[in-house]
Structure 1
Amino acid sequence: MKNKIFKNNKIKIIAGILKSQVIKIQQNCLLKPTKNIVKETLFNWISNNIKNSKCLDCFAGSGSLGIEAISRSARFVTFIESNVNIVKKLIANLIRLNIYYKAKVIQTNILEWIQKKGHPYDIIFIDPPFNQKIVNIIINYLDKNNWTHNYSLIYIEQLKNKKKLRAPLNWFVYKQKTSGNVLYYLILKDVNKNLK
């Protein structure tokens, strides 16, 4: 669905070294970017974790979340996107913003990619088309195949009238909020469950 923040086919970067610069996008009904008010809350939640973090953007689309992470001093972001035209636009934006050296863009299906054994990420963004079944499957593969470590954070967006996901053992909801019809939250992996 189209979003009102698509003014002049641009998304503004909120904060960090790229503050007020823009991500240029094509009008594409496949893109569902995170609203600015939601993005601000998310990055307030992870402000103590973002510096030097290694991030994974599972349904990259415009790259809005991953690029915002780089702007706020993430060390590296892997962007996964299946649509070839969206991938080309994302790469062009990363080059134009001079941050391509902090990124890797992979054109593939995220469900296939995470079925292999991986290397852990600190922060993972999951903002797919609103399909809760896919989110549950992805989180289980991430947990099972070494894409997370003991204190990884996963950000999830879903329609608030959908059933909340069933997090794997040792994961729990750390932060949660709603905006309009969207429920968004962070889940934290903590094998000791000692974070209050």
Structure 2
Amino acid sequence: MTRRRSSPRSRPRPGAGPPKGSGRLRIIGGEFRRRLLPVLDSPGLRPTPDRVRETLFNWLATTTPGARVLDLFAGTGALGLEALSRGAREALFVERDGLVARALEDNLRTLGASERGRLRQADALAFLAAGPADADAFSLVFLDPPFRQGLAEPCCERLERGWLAAEAWIYLETETTLEARVPASWTLHREVRAGDSTGRLYRRLATSGD
């Protein structure tokens, strides 16, 4: 997951090449523990704070191993990479920005996680609207849309169109001033606040149609 703002990213000048790394993402636990990965110098792009990630994965300690993960609006891929480090079976990262997506792909290769971590360069809302390509639904989803663009609720609604396992876990991060409406089948499990954002972890309850 990556903290974003509503302002658009500045576009690189022609021939300027990829943005230089401006920081480091630290993997907190698991197989890749303490590994440091570069983060691009791109407006609005920075990893979720270590404290929030540690709290979240403590909640998910028994859920992450073997999980099939979907990381939407992936950015640096901080949460998806942490999930892979902690034993997730596979992770699909969805990121629209080409430079950011390539940097994430490079980090997957650096970790030797390219076989378990796949990247899709696409707009997350359009990606969800297209529907899942196979019947193997996701058991763990990270959803961190850009703030103040009205994306949280439509993404939540579209996840219910075949993307989620019967009892999936969904982590949604939004600006603290927004309490997004989520599907009736989702129950709030825990929440964490950091600065101007609030993360909420939901558990989806199986329905008769699942």
Q: Give the aligned partner of residue 55 of structure 1.
A: 69
Gaps of 5+ in 1: none
Amino acid paired to 1:150:
A
TM-score norm. by structure 2 comes to 0.83
Q: Which runs of 5+ in 2 are unaligned?
A: 5-20
Residue aligning to 2:155: 138
Counterpart for residue 73 of structure 1:
87
Aligned to 2:183: 168
Q: State the SS of the aligned residue for 1:89.
A: helix
Q: Distance in 2 between matches of 1:38 and 1:61?
A: 16
Corresponding residue number in structure 2 for 1:85: 99
What is the one-letter code of the residue matched to 1:153?
W
C-alpha RMSD of the superposition: 1.7
Q: Secondary structure at the match of 1:133?
A: coil
1:110 to 118, 124, 133: 124
- 1:64-106 CA distances to partner (integer Å, 9 max, x unpaired)? 1111000000010000000000111111111111111111100
Q: Distance in 1 between matches of 2:190 and 2:45?
A: 25
CA contact (8 A) 1:61 1:81 kept: yes
Conserved in 1, the CA contact under 8 Å of 2:22 and 2:40? no
Helix, strand or coil at the partner of 1:177: strand
In 1, Cα distance between equivalents of 2:148 and 2:193: 17
4+ long deviations beyond 3 Å: none
TM-score by length of 1: 0.89
The alignment of Structure 1 onto Structure 2 pairs a total of residues equal to 186
**Pick aligned residue for 1:98 from 104, 107, 112:** 112
Taking the aligned partners of 1:167 and 1:132, their CA distance within structure 2 comes to 16
In the other structure, the counterpart of 1:122 is 139
Amino acid across the alignment from 1:148: L
Contact 1:23–1:62, Cα closer than 8 Å, also in 2 = no
Match of 2:55 among 41, 46, 49: 41
Q: Which of 123, 130, 148 is the aligned partner of 2:164?
A: 148
Identity in percent: 27
Query: Whole-Å Cα distance in 2 between the matches of residues 166 and 132 of structure 1?
Result: 15
More helix by share: 1
Deviation at 1:8? 5.5
